[in-house]
Chains A and B, each alone.
Chain A
Amino acid sequence: NAGVMQNPRHLVRRRGQEARLRCSPMKGHSHVYWYRQLPEEGLKFMVYLQKENIIDESGMPKERFSAEFPKEGPSILRIQQVVRGDSAAYFCASSLLLQTNTGELFFGEGSRLTVL
């Protein structure tokens, strides 16, 4: 049973370009979360999605960032017109239930975005 798969693992973009980060949740998981980790900081919640629905995007910057989780295929976090401050590790996590009794939220290995 494959874990949460994220790609690309590393992405380099120049200012103004677009970044697309993909996340395939664990098999059978319908809840997907995106977190961002800036250098030397903890993880910050960005968005919570279920299939075809954005449930909570309270942690997403208002502009340039969007996320989707289509009926088929991976969840995608899209950052338009990237700036240097977007350089971070973006982690995807998935869970089977809305709130697990064990607290186990399964994280992917992250996508590290570097903006030149």
Chain B
Amino acid sequence: EDKVVQSPLSLVVHEGDTVTLNCSYEVTNFRSLLWYKQEKKAPTFLFMLTSSGIEKKSGRLSSILDKKELFSILNITATQTGDSAIYLCAVERRNAGNMLTFGGGTRLMVKP
């Protein structure tokens, strides 16, 4: 059975801090790892990672995958209160459509 474990479970920081969120996984026939941000509503897509060592970047967010050690990290620099959300990591198998296996999420709170 595929497994995704995220850490920490929750995190409280102050604006301007940098945070690193972790995601480790075990999956058969790995295709990709995805990060989503979930505020009070729908999860919204952040990154899709398929290759080791290649950093994906979007503004203050960046992510990288290590397929040998089976983990990914999501970095957020200069955090803002609007970054407060649950960050979800998911893995996708080859030939399995979008039937993703999600981790339990990291709940990030950014205080002013």
Q: Which residues of A contact B (CB under 8 A)?
A: 3-4, 31, 33, 35, 40-45, 48, 55-56, 58-59, 91, 93, 95, 98-100, 102-110
Contact = CB atoms under 8 A, between A and B. Distances in A.
B70 to A, nearest CB: 17
Contacts of A95: 97-98
Overall SS of chain B's interface: strand
A33 B99 contact: yes
Given A42-B103, A103-B92, A110-B41, A98 B97 contact: yes
A98 to B, nearest CB: 5
What are the nearest 8 A-B pairs in CB distance? A103-B48, A42-B102, A107-B42, A109-B41, A43-B102, A42-B104, A105-B98, A109-B42
Given A45-B101, A95-B98, A110-B42, A102 B31 contact: no
Given A103-B34, A109-B41, A48 B88 contact: no
Contacts, number: 74
Given A107-B43, A108-B42, A43 B48 contact: no
Interface residues on B, range: 20 to 34
Contacts of A48: 97-99
Contacts of B92: 99, 103
B102 A102 contact: no
B19 interface: no
B44 interface: yes
B62 interface: no
Contacts of A105: 34, 45, 98, 100
Contact of A103 (B45, B99, B102): B45
A55 B98 CA distance: 12
A93 B98 contact: yes
